[in-house]
Each structure stands twice: as structure tokens, then as C-alpha cells.
Amino acid sequence: MRIYDISQEVFTCKVFPGDPAPKRKILASMDKGDLYNLTEFSMCAHNGTHIDAPKHFIKNGKAVDEIPLETLVGRCFVAEH
């Protein structure tokens, strides 16, 4: 089986209208004389490449951790829009 990585880069992918865009903030940088590099980031859980768990739309639906991984692997069609 050939595997295709269809992941989107988090900070450049489009977000759903109304969702906050991902943000990153450099808290410490060795290039600026700090002892270490430290980055903070925030994003909506509904961003980038993901699966919409049934619980997202259906009361008492399954959460992501309740969906068997085998459900997400198999034949597919990838279209570029």
C-alpha cells in the first residue's frame, strides 16, 4: 500500500470562517542572547488536517479517541482545490 501524507502546514493553511488563525510567539531565543529557544503557540482544535469526530456534530457521538484507527486507513481520492 502506498501512503500519502495529506497534512497541511498549520501556520499557513486556511481556517474555517470564524475560527481563530494559529499564532506563534517567540518567548526566548538563543539568537537574541537567551539560554534556550522557547515558542508558544495557540490554535483552534478545528484547524489544519484533522477528522471531525461524530461528537463534534452529534450529541452522544464518538470522540476522536473512540474511533478505531483502522477506520481512517484505506482507499481514498485526494483532490487539490
Burial class (CB in 10 A: 0-12, 13-18, 19+), 12: exposed
Which residues sit opposite 23 in a β-bridge? 42
What nine digits make up the cell of 43?
Answer: 490554535
Other residues' Cβ atoms within 10 Å of the Cβ of residue 44: 13
Point out the residues that are catalytic: 56
